Structure 1
Amino acid sequence: MLLGKAVRLERIFNRNTGRTIIVPMDHGVSVGPIGGMVDFKGSVNRVAEGGANAVLMHKGMPRCTHRGYGKDVGLIVHLSASTSLSPFPNAKTLVGTVEDALRLGADGVSVHVNLGDVSEREMLRDLGEVTSRAAEWGMPVLAMMYARGAHIPDEYDADVVCHAARVAVELGADVVKVPYPGSLEDFARVVEACCVPVLIAGGPRMDSERDLLTMVHDACLAGGAGLSIGRNVFQHERPEVLMKALARIVHDEWDVERALELLHGAE
């Protein structure tokens, strides 16, 4: 591994635990300025203070969020985009380059692929091109892998998630993000099929804090390298406290009950 890539990965991952907590904040392109994404700098500060290892955003937003104070936090620049206004919202297109991310001082880039979509071949081509270019610069690549197509009845099916994760590894991604397939045993299969760190996605907003913490706890127990969760964090009424609870699970191996006590004890 190039020294530059190793250094950048250490800014994204906790070097002691080998795990990470990434908070995606790329939702403004997809769905607009939703709750938690209006005061963008404040949102970044809250999750950083809570213990996030990195935040993820599009290339135009670091100029709005560079704080110059508080805890340091890694930066991943997202290179894929589509909007909910499109008749083809699952068709992601590249809107940035590895060089854009380098100029912004980023520690990594990310690419989103929806397997099974009619534009799958273009998204796979984009991922392959980004990993090749990133390898030249020692830039880590996070691949967000989902299976979303007309002939895919269940994107959380363990076999489907395993396939999606393996595609990312085979095309050169350094870190893979996939939906949690629903059980510790199924996610362990996903991790086993990959030789790079695997993170769980958060998906839609969850109503239960216990369910969120349990999912993260079980994913780590199954060998996962942490999480990449956005709305369930930045839309929480106290994101910095939730982050502290998540960090205790991911990096200190707390159980769910203890993390819940921390979360509600701060009220």
Structure 2
Amino acid sequence: MGYVGRKLRERRILFPDSQRGLIVPVDHGLTLGPIAGMQATEALESWVGSRDLSAVLGHKGLIERLIVRQCLHPATGVIVHLNGMASLSPDADTKIMVADIDTALKLGADAVSIQVNFTTSNFAHNFAMLGAVTDAAHAAGLPLLTMLYDKVKAPTSAERLARLHHLVRVVTELGSDAVKLAYASVDEIEELASVHGRDIRIFFAGGEKADEEVLVAMSQAAIRHGATGLCIGRNVFQHARPQALLRRLADSVKGRSEQVAELDVV
């Protein structure tokens, strides 16, 4: 029965009318400290209740505060992030577990997530963590989103893409339900989605702060070429008008912007 519950909860982190998602991660504070837009819980309250995000993702303490203060829209999915490491650490790319499945369940989570940054020396750590978290999450009927970053600099773009294909396959083989990847070129998005999209849901990140028009165009391209959705953090919470941006991104994810463009052409 765990599989049935997992699939039900997976739908809760997506928009029901499109089965695509706009996830806003707010887990940055543990890693980076009180950065702009995330100095305290209050900094999120003006936009985090918007209906234009399908799920919010954060560490247990912040998620608890958002729930207790009734900041979230009832239809918004909750993803509890289970691992992390402060950038103050000399080994910041090797994340460790900071919460467990039982904690996520007690918070009413619809899903859990972890981040794996692959360096030249932490493959064994990441494999063990991925395997254990996947087993525990699925036993509890919770879907797992894995944020995947390859920190090894490949000498060519072809080798970098080949490494990424391999690492996405690792995450898939170990049972993750969804993977978040750094935004790539349109050609790479199309290739990644075509190779892996039937086995695992693929979300693309927003990356560093970007111009709003560039960000919206990127989001439309990702969805058009097969992505399940977007997982965008600082481009939302550091935006001058987060709610307005969320509406535009949600329209992109749901395909509304393309429909409007088609009507304009006709």
TM-score where L is the length of structure 1: 0.88
8 Å contact from structure 1 (residues 161, 181) kept in 2? no
Q: 1:42 and 1:86, CA in 2 relative to 1: closer, same or farther beyond 3 A? A: closer
Question: Structure 1, residues 31-58: CA drift from partner, whole Å, max 9, x if none?
Answer: 0011111242551550331510111111
Paired position in structure 2 for 1:265? none
Whether 1:140 and 2:121 are equivalent positions in the alignment is: no
Question: Structure 1, residues 81-109: CA drift from partner, whole Å, max 9, x if none?
Answer: 11111111111111111111011110111
Q: 1:257 and 1:182, CA in 2 relative to 1: closer, same or farther beyond 3 A? A: farther
Q: Distance in 1 between matches of 2:252 and 2:192?
A: 20
Paired position in structure 1 for 2:264? none
8 Å contact from structure 1 (residues 213, 256) kept in 2? no
Letter in 2 for 1:189: E
Letter in 2 for 1:225: T
Q: Distance in 2 between matches of 1:168 and 1:136?
A: 17
Paired position in structure 2 for 1:94? 97
Q: Name whichever of 49-58 and 20-29 sits farther off.
A: 49-58
Whether 1:37 and 2:38 are equivalent positions in the alignment is: yes
Paired position in structure 2 for 1:199? 203
Whether 1:219 and 2:216 are equivalent positions in the alignment is: no
8 Å contact from structure 1 (residues 59, 96) kept in 2? yes
Q: Output the aligned Cα RMSD.
A: 2.2
8 Å contact from structure 2 (residues 116, 126) kept in 1? yes
Shift of 1:159: 2.7
What stretches of structure 1 of length at least 5 have no aligned partner? 259-267
SS at match of 1:249: helix
Q: Distance in 1 between matches of 2:156 and 2:22?
A: 26
Q: 1:63 and 1:13, CA in 2 relative to 1: closer, same or farther beyond 3 A? A: same
Count of matched residue positions in the alignment of Structure 1 and Structure 2: 255
Shift of 1:129: 0.5
8 Å contact from structure 1 (residues 91, 117) kept in 2? no
Paired position in structure 2 for 1:263? none
TM-score where L is the length of structure 2: 0.89
Q: How does 1:152-171 map to 2 (within 5 A)?
A: 152-153=154-155, 157-171=160-174
Percent identity, please: 35
Shift of 1:212: 0.8
8 Å contact from structure 2 (residues 119, 151) kept in 1? yes
Q: Name whichever of 95-104 and 117-126 sits farther off.
A: 117-126
Shift of 1:162: 2.3
8 Å contact from structure 1 (residues 47, 243) kept in 2? no
Question: Structure 1, residues 101-137: CA drift from partner, whole Å, max 9, x if none?
Answer: 0111101110111123422210221011000111111
Q: Distance in 1 between matches of 2:73 and 2:26?
A: 18
Question: Structure 1, residues 217-267: CA drift from partner, whole Å, max 9, x if none?
Answer: 111011001100100111101101100000011113414997xxxxxxxxx
Q: 1:243 aligns with which of 233, 243, 246?
A: 246
Q: 1:97 and 1:55, CA in 2 relative to 1: closer, same or farther beyond 3 A? A: same
Q: 1:108 and 1:39, CA in 2 relative to 1: closer, same or farther beyond 3 A? A: same
Q: 1:214 and 1:46, CA in 2 relative to 1: closer, same or farther beyond 3 A? A: same
What stretches of structure 2 of length at least 5 have no aligned partner? 262-266
Shift of 1:139: 0.4
Q: Distance in 2 between matches of 1:257 and 1:147?
A: 37
Letter in 2 for 1:26: D
Q: Name whichever of 114-123 and 169-178 sits farther off.
A: 114-123
Q: Distance in 1 between matches of 2:127 and 2:157?
A: 18
Q: 1:69 and 1:63, CA in 2 relative to 1: closer, same or farther beyond 3 A? A: closer
Q: Distance in 2 between matches of 1:231 and 1:71?
A: 20
Paired position in structure 1 for 2:19? 18
Paired position in structure 2 for 1:179? 182
Paired position in structure 2 for 1:112? 115
